[in-house]
Amino acid sequence: MTAFRTTRDVRSTPEGLLWEPSARWVRGRRGEVTLVDSRHPVLVWEPDVPVPLYAFPRDEVRVDLLRPARNPPTGTHTGSRIFYDLELDGELLANAAWTFPSADLAGHIAFEWFGRVGRGLDHWYEEEEEIFVHPRDPHKRVDALASSRHVRVEIDGTLVADTVRPVLLFETALPTRFYIPREDVRLDLFVPTAHHTACPYKGTADYWSLRGDAPVAPNIVWSYPDPLPAVAPIRNLLAFYNEAVDITVDDEPQARPVTPFTESLERRKRN
């Protein structure tokens, strides 16, 4: 019988890992082949990495398809020393899996996620729902709330959006994002791009860049045309990076936050 836990069970290791047992049924596939079918997964947070990964008991992994890595990397995944190549249908996927050095996680194997790093297993499921990029953090919350706040967005002194019907998206550890109806955005000032990103909490986003030569990063505006059900109110609305534009809410200017996106936005602007 599985013991029921009424509190979070996050544990730490001497190597700096945090880990927590999960009650979710998790499966990982490469194409149509199931490599992981686990009812006892463990969530693992590596130092200085804001999102978790799963690790799985060996007996819930197709270890028969794993081979000792021919060229294991160094300095990755918290000093892991044992890496595996995945051999499947004549294809060899280098360093697709690994074990963590911690004794607490002995007997567990983790996998790369294609949606996160461009290699590894390309389909993941929690229960019957497909998940993307990385596991959703049980300590993180995302809420999309309709609002009547007056939100104005300016770029280099030009008003590009003005609304009193935004949807505010509150996401743990990130600034509030203001999603604005398209009718309240000067879309004539922007051009759609081929850029897309995927989020395990929201879905897949489309992007726009500002026309002209204003000193702002490309892909400054995004929208989720088909968001995940939990954030359905943001469907087809437009959001701006608070880190790179000037936002006023109810006549109160908002400070530009410093987030993990700040450096990449500055770098994209310079390029």
Q: Which residues contact 38 (CB under 8 A, 6 or more apart)?
A: 25, 26, 27, 54, 56, 57, 60, 61
Residues 83 and 169 in one domain: no
pLDDT reported for residue 234: 98
Phi-psi region of 203 (alpha: psi -120 to 50; beta: other; left: phi over 0): left
Residues 188 and 248 in one domain: yes
* pLDDT (average), residues 109-138: 93
* pLDDT (average), residues 217-234: 96
Tell whether 167 is covered by a domain: yes
Burial class (CB in 10 A: 0-12, 13-18, 19+), 17: buried
pLDDT digits (tens, 9 = 90+) for 129-178: 999 999 999 999 999 999 999 999 999 999 999 999 999 999 998 999 99
Residues 57 and 155 in one domain: no
* pLDDT (average), residues 222-244: 97
Residues 16 and 39 in one domain: yes
- 2 has pLDDT over 60: no
Residues 149 and 116 in one domain: no
pLDDT digits (tens, 9 = 90+) for 168-204: 999 998 999 999 999 999 999 999 999 999 999 999 9
Q: How many angstroms separate the CA atoms of 192 and 32, rounded?
A: 34
Residues 171 and 71 in one domain: no
pTM: 0.85
What phi, psi does 267 have (nearest 5°)?
Answer: -65, -40
**Residue 80: band (very low, low, confident or very high) from pLDDT cuts 50, 70, 90:** confident
Domains in the chain: how many in total? 2
Tell whether 238 is covered by a domain: yes
What CATH number should be reported for the domain holding residue 36?
A: 2.170.150.40
Q: How many angstroms separate the CA atoms of 155 and 245, rounded?
A: 5
Residues spanned by the domain of 191: 142-270
State the chain's mean pLDDT as an integer.
93
**Residue 1: band (very low, low, confident or very high) from pLDDT cuts 50, 70, 90:** very low
pLDDT reported for residue 75: 84
